[in-house]
A and B are shown apart, each in its own frame.
Chain A
Amino acid sequence: MVKSVVGEENFIDMQPNRSNNYCCGGGGGFLQSGFKEQRLEYGKMKDSQIKDTGADYCIAGCHNCHAQIHELSEHYGGNYPVVHLWTLICLSLGILGPNEREYLGDDLKEVNVFHPETAF
């Protein structure tokens, strides 16, 4: 799915991947547990893994992961954009409106905007 949306040559998987991949630290209630310092420490491994790919964007599969990785990106200074898969699917289909681009980076904010006149 991701390859068909971004192009095969633009997809870089993390290492290790699949069942050897690392949890980002947003799940299991961690986001609401109050242990913020530990949660960010936990996520350091995921942040390094993402940076090591050299990719411009990180796609998160669910809302919890998105919230955690987005925070990791800012906290550890990588500042890579973290997007939901639905955002990239709609962008690739040319149906992503101006108000559905909250998490796109500046490089894609103005690209192929659907009904740009409806921006608010």
Chain B
Amino acid sequence: MTLAAIKLGKKNRKNIFLNKVKKLLPEGGNLNACLTCGACASGCPATGLGDMDPRKFLRMAALGMDEEIIKSDWPWMCTMCQRCVYVCPMQIDIPQLIFNARTLRPRDERPKGIRDSCDMALRNESTSAMGTSPQDFEFVVQDVLEEYQEAQPEFADMQAPIDKKGAQFFLNQNSREPVTEPDEMVPLWKILHLAGVDWTYGSRGWAGENYCMFLADNDSWETVTSQTVGQANKLKSKTFLNTE
């Protein structure tokens, strides 16, 4: 006697999470190509956290277990480092699956720390996760620069330009340096000075971190990125240097 084939789930397959993500990605992220070999899970530092691993997460998505995926905190414990893609014989884009899983929860139910950092970045044109204003950034940079020009006369001519037009490089800066440890900005300035590099910060969009991206808040991510890229373009810088 032949057994009837087991039917998995009652969902409309077209509408499951996995298939929605496939539509967003080139080649569907190869999300249907999993051989279940486990190479991803065996080398993933997040394997075992929250009783999850990359292979299991992909299998759950393939089985249409969308509710369990929404409940899982694991998408916030994966850093989307890409190692699983490198080792995968089928180059399956698990990190994109994870990123999109972050969007499944309402914004106000995503991790507060990441959300607050994104909201800070939206507060003013700095795009700083610490909420620092363009004026405060300009003040700190100028103040630290003058202090070092005086204390270390060999660097009396060193510059830390803000909004210089037509510079070769537009540099961004992690907020924590100007805000909590300004002396850590100086070694990089010295290297750029000695190498004769033509560079500038922007008074707007100077902050390099982008927690709106990590929050998977795509509109806010775009706002933050547009701010910083817009400033670089406005200054007619030729190369955008992301120091983050």
- Using a CB–CB cutoff of 8 Å, the interface residues on chain A facing chain B are 19-23, 25-30, 32-35, 38-39, 41-46, 62-64, 67, 84, 86-87, 89-90, 93, 95-97, 99-100, 102, 114-115, 118
Contact = CB atoms under 8 A, between A and B. Distances in A.
Instruction: Classify the secondary structure of B's interface with A.
Output: helix
B191 A64 contact: no
Contact of A46 (B45, B50, B78, B87): B45
Nearest to A30: B79
B211 A32 contact: yes
A86 to B, nearest CB: 4
A33 B152 contact: no
Interface in B54-104: 73, 76-81, 83, 86-87
B49 A87 contact: no
Contact of A84 (B49, B148, B184, B215): B184
Interface residues of B, number: 46
Contacts of A86: 187-188, 191
A28 B78 contact: yes
A118 B81 CA distance: 41
Contacts of A64: 174, 209, 244
A115 B76 contact: no
A97 B151 contact: yes
A89 B187 contact: yes
B86 A20 contact: yes
B176 interface: yes
Given A27-B79, A33-B76, A114-B152, 19 more contacts: A21-B83, A28-B214, A30-B76, A32-B116, A33-B77, A33-B113, A34-B111, A38-B49, A38-B50, A43-B45, A44-B45, A63-B174, A63-B177, A63-B209, A63-B244, A67-B176, A90-B191, A95-B155, A115-B152
A20 B86 CA distance: 8
Contacts of B243: 62
7 contacts: A25-B79, A27-B79, A32-B211, A38-B49, A64-B174, A90-B190, A99-B183
A108 to B, nearest CB: 14
- Please provide the 5 A-B residue pairs with the shortest distance between their CB atoms, ordered closest to farther: A29-B214, A28-B79, A23-B81, A32-B113, A86-B187
Given A20-B86, A63-B176, A63-B244, A32 B49 contact: no
Interface string B116-129: 11000000000001
B186 A97 contact: yes
A20 B43 contact: yes
A32 B118 CA distance: 11
